[in-house]
Amino acid sequence: MIAITTEPIDVASALQNLQTEQAGAIDLFLGVVRDNTKKRPVDRLEYEAYDRMAISEMQKIADEAHRQWPILRYTIIHRTGTLRTGELAVLIGIASAHRADAFEACRYIIDTIKQTVPIWKKEIFTDGEVWVNAHP
Amino acid sequence: MIAITTEPIDVASALQNLQTEQAGAIDLFLGVVRDNTKKRPVDRLEYEAYDRMAISEMQKIADEAHRQWPILRYTIIHRTGTLRTGELAVLIGIASAHRADAFEACRYIIDTIKQTVPIWKKEIFTDGEVWVNAHP
Amino acid sequence: MNSPVSVLLFGITRDLTGQSLLSMSVDQEARVQDLLDQLYQHYPKLADIKSLLVAVNGEYAERDHLLTSKDEIALIPPVSGG
Amino acid sequence: MNSPVSVLLFGITRDLTGQSLLSMSVDQEARVQDLLDQLYQHYPKLADIKSLLVAVNGEYAERDHLLTSKDEIALIPPVSGG
């Protein structure tokens, strides 16, 4: 399951979606909004996505993970809109028979999402704002 | 937080326990009872622990993970008693500022738990039973 | 002969241009690079972005990719999801 | 002179002996290995376990660890948590 949503990410329902009788291991990665980036206090983050392309790029990543590891189920949810400290920006969940596959696939997916999926994050500080990674 | 419990593992409350304003990444590993081991159908598992020593061995593992990675919070919960397919046997959660630390510490902890913590699992099949790893 | 193409802008490209959707008139044989050159002329600040990619119909496109007026084109500044 | 020690049994060791707690009488200068030898005599099946460790007061103990009657001793067959 792959989704982009402006609603808060529901971990419990993601977990339900991952469970299957063959799964012995579930690795769940949660990306959380932190209160501090480079020592500058963050008031909030604003995420935006090129939704259509973000979904298709995430699907490519999930398909590649499927080729590399024996995955039983996966869930990838990215939130967009305004997020505050402590809120979940992204959830990656992998269910597999054995734990090494779940860990490796989960890490591959989050690492690759950060490189190729058209989603952008603006950090809004008390004294300014910045598009992460983009600035000259 | 480290616990051994006969109650079902509550993922939501474990997650709450991990959250802190500095955490940018949470990795949550769940060990789940599968319906099949070596193609033999499992009816249920029975876990038992030498509780006192299991807690202290898990504490040693958490302390070592703390030394190796900048962990903000951790949760280790192992369930004991009778478990059926789909139930959670173990939860390891790590919160850290950056994701690599969460993944690595989480994997280290579950790998090491399986090697050193005095907890035993009996697989009960429809046609027999076996203490995992122990049999001559 | 010219044809119009529409260009979606996200993140810093939207902030720098003040636009989330541009309609650009390009030569019929225009490629991605030609469109970028035109955009840089109108919005010189875009050239400051350290790595600007272009997507055509939801797929990353090379600089020599040929454009048509039916294409959905998007500027993709460095991503920062997750 | 002999002294009694108590031994906790878990997992396969409990199943093989039918006991979860044993009281053993050992020599005053007895070490872990001496206790194991005595246990193997009473319960020869224990020798079939491929790697049997011993904990003393909640810590893994070497075979030459000296025992006292106050110790909480436990047999630790191969673990299989997680």
Question: Into which CATH architecture does domain B2-131 fall?
Answer: Alpha-Beta Complex (3.90)
Let me know: does B71 contact B96? Beta carbons within 8 Å. yes
Report CA-CA distances (Å) from A78 to A113, B83, D21, D77.
10, 33, 53, 45
C1 pLDDT tier (thresholds 50, 70, 90): low
Residue range C19-77, pLDDT digits in tens = 999 999 988 899 999 999 999 999 999 999 989 999 999 999 999 999 998 999 999 99
State ipTM: 0.93
Instruction: Give me the pLDDT at residue C4, please.
Output: 87
Contact D81 B131 (CB under 8 A): no
- DSSP for C8-44, please give it: E--HHHHHHHT-SEEEEEEETT-BHHHHHHHHHHH-G
Residue range A42-70, pLDDT digits in tens = 889 999 999 999 999 999 999 999 999 99
Let me know: does A98 contact A19? Beta carbons within 8 Å. no
**Two structure tokens written together for D28:** 């005053």
Residue range D12-23, pLDDT digits in tens = 999 999 999 999
Could you tell me the pTM of the whole model? Answer: 0.94
Burial bucket for residue C64 (CB in 10 Å: 0-12, 13-18, 19+): exposed
Domains belonging to chain D, first-starting first, are: 2-76 (3.10.20.30)
Residue range D8-56, pLDDT digits in tens = 999 999 999 999 999 999 888 999 999 999 999 999 999 999 899 999 9
Helices assigned H by DSSP within chain D = 11-17, 32-42
Distance CA A46, CA A87 (A): 12
Closest Cα in chain B, distance from residue A28 (Å): 5
Could you tell me if B108 lies within 8 Å of chain D, comparing CB atoms? no
Q: What is the CA radius of gyration of chain D?
A: 12
**Two structure tokens written together for D58:** 């909640």
Contact B36 A22 (CB under 8 A): yes
Please identify among residues 22-81 of chain A the ones whose CB lies closer than 8 Å to any CB of chain B.
22-36
What residue segments make up the domains of chain B, in order of their start?
Answer: 2-131
Instruction: Give me the pLDDT at residue A61, please.
Output: 98
SS3 C82: coil
Residue corresponding to tokens 């734990």: A99
Computed over every residue of chain A, the mean pLDDT equals: 94
Instruction: Give me the pLDDT at residue C66, please.
Output: 96
Let me know: does C4 contact C24? Beta carbons within 8 Å. yes
